[in-house]
Copies of this chain bind each other. A is one copy, B any other.
Amino acid sequence: MKSSESLNEKIIKRQLIFQGRYLHLEELELLLPNQTLAKREIVRVRNAVAILPIDKEKNVYLVRQHRPAIESTILEIPAGLIDKGEEVEEAARRECEEETGFRPHTLKKLITYAHAEGYSTGFITLFWGSDLEYTGNINLDNTEYLEQQTLSFEDLSRMVDQNKIIDSKTILATLYCRGLIDNL
């Protein structure tokens, strides 16, 4: 079978189980290519952006945030959901500014990836942001709470190697940026 071909699974039935603020849960009934019926639970979420903002001195501007799902406070690159009708690049600039106070004037798209392809619809697009302008316009939703932290890219990179950074978006952005850091 060629890589471009789709395996022929059919959705027989789709049922909305729960409609939440941040996610919807659906149950799908599928007919697999081997004619077996199977059920899958699917989480429908909005797509997101994440951005690694880096200045000419190779400092990176990160956020610390408590993540109740994993019961941990972690250090991450700024990120957030894309608003309805918003351009992906504008979402990246907006989230970076709202969470760190820095607006990136240059963006480089690194990758778009599915973060939980087994059960979630969600994709994240990663950017590297440079030509940073400090506006100080930190603007968090009142149900968000996070803190800013500045690191050298070298320190971030070491923390990734030590697996002290544990979220996929920050690890991926750091690994991609290693190849680009000398072009700053």
In the complex, A49 has a CB within 8 A of chain B:
no
With the chains together, A45 CA to B143 CA distance in Å?
25
In the complex, A149 has a CB within 8 A of chain B:
yes
In the complex, A168 has a CB within 8 A of chain B:
yes
Q: Please tell me if the beta carbons of A41 and B23 are within 8 angstroms of each other in the complex.
A: yes
Chain B residues with CB under 8 Å of A25's CB are: 18, 20, 25
Given contacts A143-B32, A172-B168, contact A116 B120 (CB under 8 A): yes
Chain B residues with CB under 8 Å of A168's CB are: 113-115, 168, 172
Given contacts A18-B18, A147-B1, contact A166 B114 (CB under 8 A): yes
Q: Which of B5, B40, B68 contacts A69 (CB 8 A)?
A: B40
Given contacts A36-B142, A69-B119, A113-B166, contact A41 B64 (CB under 8 A): no
C-beta contact mask, A41-56 vs B, less than 8 Å → 1, else 0? 1110100100000000
Given contacts A27-B20, A171-B111, contact A67 B149 (CB under 8 A): no
Q: Which of A23-37 contact B (CB under 8 A)?
A: 23, 25, 27-28, 30, 32-34, 36
Additional A-B contact list (16), CB under 8 Å, known A9-B68, A38-B143, A114-B166: A7-B64, A7-B65, A7-B73, A20-B27, A20-B41, A22-B118, A23-B43, A36-B142, A39-B143, A42-B69, A43-B69, A115-B116, A116-B120, A117-B166, A168-B168, A168-B172
**Can you identify 18 A-B contacts, CB atoms within 8 angstroms?**
A3-B149, A6-B72, A7-B64, A7-B66, A9-B68, A17-B18, A20-B25, A20-B27, A21-B39, A22-B41, A22-B119, A25-B25, A32-B145, A36-B143, A69-B117, A74-B114, A120-B120, A175-B175
